[in-house]
Structures are given as C-alpha cells and as structure tokens.
Amino acid sequence: MLLEALPPTTITVSTVRASALAELAHHYGKPVQYVETAAELDLTGFTGKETVGVLAGASTPTWLVDEVVDVLEQLGDGPSRWRSFLQAAYGSSSLMAMGAGLMTLGVHKWLSLPLGWRYPTLTGTYVLAMYLLSPFLDPLGLGTKGPARARFLERNRRILLISALAALGLTLGLAASLGMKVLAVVGSATLVGAAYKRRFHLGGREWSLRQIPGSKDVVVSLALATVAVITPVWQEGRTWDLRTFAAIFLVGVLAFVRTVIYEFRDMQNDQIVGKETLPILMGKRATKVVLIGLLGTLLAGTLWLTFETRGQGHPLAVALVLVICAAYPVLYLWLYHERFTAGKNRFELSVDLSFYLVGLLALI
C-alpha cells in the first residue's frame, strides 16, 4: 500500500470530506494534520527539510490543494526554494516567450525574410511583458487564478512588475531600432493588451473589450501574429502572397489553440474564466471541434503551399515539421487533459512545444 511504503513523513490532508484519508495515514503511523484550508496549517513543527505528503478527496477543489502545497513549499530552504520561486514566477512565461521567439525565426525562414536576432527577441520580450503584466491589470483582482496564485503574486508583486516593465522597455527599444512602423504597431499592440481588461465609460455605460464573447482567444492570437509576422512583412516590404497569409494563419492558430488549451486547464483547476473565453462561450465539446477544424485547415493549407512552391526549402522536411506542429496540440490535450486528472505534475510536456517545433523551420 502507498502509505505503508512512505518513509516517516507528515501527511497533510486538505478536504472537507477526507477524514477517512487522515485516519488511514494515522493508522500507518504518519503524523497527520487534517485541515480544510491552508490557514489551518500548524507550521510550528516544520524545519523546512521534511518530506510532506498532501492527500485530498476527489471532491476537493484543486486550488485548495495547491494553496496548501504553496504554503508548504515556501517553508523549504536552499536551492529547492529558489527553484520553486523561479518556476512559479517565470516558468510558464519564459517558456512561452522563448517558444514565440523561435517560432518567429522559423516562420521568417519559411517566408524567406532576412534572418536576425532582433525580430525573434522582440516577439519574445513582448510575450514575456504581456504575460507578466496581465494579472496585475485585471479589474477583478489577482484572485482569478485561485487563492494560492493570488497570494504568490501579491507577495512578489514588486519583482514581477519590475521584470515586466524591463521586458516591455526592451520590447519598445527593439521596435524603435527596427523602424517607426514597427514601433507604432508594437506600441499599439501593447496598448490593446494593457487595456483589454480595463473598463471604460462611454455614453454613460461601462464597456470593455473583455465583454465581447470569445474575444480573449482572438485578441491573443492576433497580437502574436501581428508582432511575429505582419509587422516584419510590412517593414521588410515582402509581397503579401498566399504564403504570407498562411504564415499569419499558422502563428495565429497555434497561439489560439495554446490559449484555449490553457483555458481548459484553468477550468479543471477551478479557476475563474468568463465568456471572453471560447470554452465558456461554446462549451468544451464544441470548442474541441473548432480546435481540430482549425488545425486541420492549417495543416492542409500549409502542406499544399509547401509542395506547390517546391523551390523554397526541402518540401518533405517542411511537411514533416508542419504535420507535427498541427498534431502535437491534439495529442497534448488528449494525453494530459483527458487521460490524467488535473493538478501539479512533477513533469509535464508543455503545449508551447508546438512553438518550438515551428522554429525547426529555421534549420531546413
């Protein structure tokens, strides 16, 4: 039995209806704390070096369990505590930012645009800045991502805001170095992103972009496609042909799919999502149909263009990359959000891997 195999450890059970789990842990000689919220934890007996198991009943909201884990992790010392902080603060944002930068590089190679470091870096820093700023711009407060995340954001507000503003400053500086057109477009995209959740009073009525059903997923995908593809194409004077529009569609669809999949995860983790998200607007099943339809259209269109213009690159290698890019999000959704339950995993592939895969086009 699992409990019998555990070393001497403290088992914290966080749930309203999980007294049986607490009794079972106590039966096997484990020190037990039975709590319903993280506020009930007795931390006086911890030194920061214990191995602690957290058990919960099936009906316990994920955010309650995460809140208990978050409090316990903060008691740790040494490298593990810093790793935990860096992962929570910059893990997802830096992963997405680097992926967006590599995707930009791959798409530029596919479009035969001049390759360099400034456009990919611009895309990456823009994504990083918007990701870090987003929770602090929400009128609903930091609690939309759950109490545990809200407490982490509040506790580290200063360092996260400094990081976000530094990334934003680097973004605007790079945009200015590339030309006034780039600066104007990136500046506009930044203002739209910053204002998306804000409320405005127009004609005596309160209004915001967020009130538009399904708008979040569309705005995120358009912003990334604009910064990564539309702006460089415009600045460099490339022809607006079918391949250009296919590249815009490629980046937009992958960003759209990535956003929606993370909304599925937010729903599983009992976090707040509204009608600005497609899963709430259409329902989970209908949204999956939309995702598969978009990925199928993306695959068919880009493959047709790849073999239609054989003189550019290696068609079979490009086709293989595009097939994997379109198939991976579907596999990810099935594997991690259908076959396994929600919660924190020690290792989990990221849906952002599809961005990195597009970056392989730069090597072909």
User: Residue 23: which domain range?
Assistant: 2-73
The answer to whether the CB of 97 falls within 8 A of the CB of 127 is yes
**pLDDT given at position 244:** 92
Is there a single domain that holds both residue 39 and residue 126? no
Least confident of 236-250, 277-291, 315-329, 340-354: 340-354
Residue 216 sits in the same domain as residue 149: yes
List, in sequence order, every residue forming a beta bridge with 33; answer none if it has no partner. 12
The per-residue pLDDT for 232 is 95
Q: Is the pLDDT of residue 345 over 70?
A: no
Q: Are residues 66 and 185 in the same domain?
A: no
Greater model confidence, 341 or 320: 320
CATH code of 41's domain: 3.40.1010.20
* The model's pTM: 0.82
Domain boundary among 73, 102, 128: 73
Q: Which residues have C-beta within 8 Å of that of residue 132, sequence separation ≥ 6? A: 93, 160, 161, 163, 164, 167
Q: 84 in a domain, yes or no?
A: no
Q: Indicate the pLDDT class of residue 234, thresholds 50, 70 and 90.
A: very high
My answer on whether 68 and 179 are in the same domain is: no
Residues 209 and 285 in one domain: yes
- Note whether 100 and 68 are same-domain residues: no
Give the pLDDT mean for 328-337: 76
Tens digits of residue pLDDT in 25-81: 777 677 777 777 777 777 777 766 667 777 777 667 766 777 777 777 766 665 566
Predicted confidence at residue 261, as pLDDT, reads 87
Note whether residue 359 is domain-resident: yes
Q: Is the pLDDT of residue 125 over 50?
A: yes
My answer on whether 152 and 264 are in the same domain is yes
Residue pair 145/278 in contact (Cβ under 8 Å)? The answer is no
Give yes or no: residues 69 and 94 share one domain. Answer: no
58-72 confidence digits (pLDDT tens):
667 766 777 777 777
Is 79 within a domain? no
Q: Which amino acid is at 265?
A: R
In a domain, 290, yes or no: yes
Q: Are residues 193 and 239 in the same domain?
A: yes
Q: Residue 102: inside a domain, yes or no? A: yes
pLDDT of residue 200: 74
According to the 3-state scheme, what is the secondary structure of 198-235? Answer: CCEEECCEEECHHHCCCHHHHHHHHHHHHHHHHHHHHH
Query: Using one digit for the tens of pLDDT, what is the confidence trace for 185-227?
Result: 999 999 988 888 777 777 777 777 777 888 888 899 999 999 9
Indicate the pLDDT class of residue 356, thresholds 50, 70 and 90. Answer: very high
Task: Answer whether residue 117 is part of any domain.
Answer: yes
224 and 129 in a common domain: yes
Say yes or no: 310 and 174 in one domain.
Answer: yes
Last residue of a domain, one of 17, 40, 73: 73
Judge whether residue 116 has pLDDT over 70: yes
How many domains does the chain fold into?
Answer: 2
Asked whether residue 80 is assigned to any structural domain, the reply reads no
pLDDT at 173: 95
> Are 51 and 110 contained in the same domain?
no
pLDDT-derived band at 124 (thresholds 50, 70, 90) equals very high
Q: Would residue 297 count as lying in a domain? A: yes
Give the largest Cα separation in the chain, rounded.
73
- In this prediction, residue 98 carries a pLDDT of 95
What percent of the chain lies above the pLDDT cut of 90?
A: 28
Q: What is the pLDDT of residue 168?
A: 95
Query: Is 256 or 52 the better-scoring residue by pLDDT?
Result: 256
Among residues 73, 99, 116, which one ends one of the domains?
73
pLDDT at 186: 94
Residue labelled with tokens 């934890």: 41
Ramachandran region, residue 117 (left: φ > 0; alpha: ψ -120 to 50; beta: rest):
alpha
* Euclidean distance between the first and the last CA atom of the chain, given in angstroms as a whole number: 51
Q: Mean pLDDT across the stretch 78-98? A: 81
